[in-house]
Amino acid sequence: MKTGGQVDLKRTQELFWELITAPEGVRAAIDSLSRRGLVDEPSLNSLFTGDQGLPAVERLDIYANMYFYRLLDCLAEDFPKTLAAVGPARFHNLVTDYLLRHPSEHPSLRYLGQRLPQFIATHPLLEAFPHLADLARLEWARADVFDAPDVQPLSRDVLARLPQDRAGDARFTLIPAFALLRFDHEVVSFWRKLDERAGGHAGTAAASGAAIHGGGSGNAAREAPDPGASPSGEVPEPPSLPAPARRSAAARVWRRDFIVYHCSLDEEEARCLDLVLAGESIGRICQQLAAGRSLVKATARAGRMMQGWLEDGILAEVALNETTR
């Protein structure tokens, strides 16, 4: 490789990247490049420093390990239940596959896991763990609302000030730190069981003061786990829990006072939240609830539901013609 000039700097960086991101290590990357007639080991040794104590390949392997394990750590932090569900060895392989398809393209590690749930939905692991994409979607939603914009939740007083005769025309706005999810599996209860097994203390609404994405780990180097930690070099896998039932389910995820919560929803409440998200009026929501109910029962159901939304702090505003806070 020629030296000097930006073209060569670019080629050098592309080669460096290819070497340190190869899933089977630098040696395998060199063999692959050599077979393609691009770079062989002697030319690599003329580019990078190395000596008997620490050859160039081993020096580059330090970077290869740091690359993979930093990103693995980040995904393990954002998807702890997904990791617990499949165990460290399968999660390791899943992350290897994921990073090949979706290397980080953002300056912040916060977005690294954004496409993991969809990726799992197309991954062979889904055969053995059909609920895994749903579980990962729940975890990503929790990570996503953690740093969504702050909004003061709607107060009961503001809602009470709505003119009675026009309340049906009013529309709610939800807080930005909110997500409505639908699943094909009962992953909310499965999440709770995993949390309990890990020593968590989640109540009805699973709470967590989640962390900074990527662990806020700064620029510290990352290492592969100590191979002596277990005979296989991997953390022993915990006994698996029974898989969650395949059944349509819904959940909402939200943040209040910097704590992230989620809970199961029945389909009726999920449909009502769909209407809120679509900007429909309170009257339209009540119509939804009136189907098959007496007016008294429908009103009581609407009252309980909205009371829950108020108490959980998922409503941001209620508006008639102009914004009312």
Q: Answer yes or no: are the C-beta atoms of 81 and 197 closer than 8 Å.
A: no
- Helix or strand run (H / E) with residue 29: helix 26-35
76 is an interface residue for another protein by CB under 8 A: no
Per CB under 8 A, does 17 bind another protein?
yes
- Closest approach, Cβ 145 to another protein, in A, equals 8
The site string for another protein over 268-287 (x = CB under 8 A, - otherwise) reads: --------------------
- Which residue has 């909205």 as its token pair? 306
Q: How far is CA 75 from the centre of its chain?
A: 8
Of the pair 80, 214, the CB lying nearest another protein is at: 214
* Residue 152 binding another protein, by CB under 8 A: no
Question: What Cα–Cα distance (Å) separates residue 262 from each residue in 7, 128, 140, 171?
Answer: 51, 26, 12, 23
By CB under 8 A, the count of residues binding another protein is: 62
C-alpha 156/C-alpha 256 separation (Å) is 16
- Cα–chain center distance at 41: 40
CB count, 10 Å around CB of 32? 15
Contact flags string 197-216 toward another protein, x per CB under 8 A: ------------x-xxxx-x
CA atoms 54, 56, 61, 67: torsion sign: positive
Contact map string, positions 225 to 264, toward another protein, x by CB under 8 A:
------------------------------x--x------
Q: Per CB under 8 A, which region of 53-61, 180-188, 240-248, 298-306 contacts another protein?
A: 53-61
Please, which residue, 32 or 43, has the CB nearer to another protein?
43
| Residue tagged 């393209």 (tokens) | 105
CB of 251 to another protein, least distance (A): 20
> Which sign does the torsion angle of CA 17, 18, 24, 28 carry?
negative
Give the whole-angstrom CA distance, residue 273 versus residue 279. Answer: 10
Q: Which residues bind another protein (CB under 8 A)?
A: 3-6, 8-10, 12-14, 16-17, 20-21, 46-50, 53-54, 56, 58-60, 62-63, 66-67, 70-71, 74, 103-110, 146-151, 176-177, 209, 211-214, 216-221, 223, 255, 258
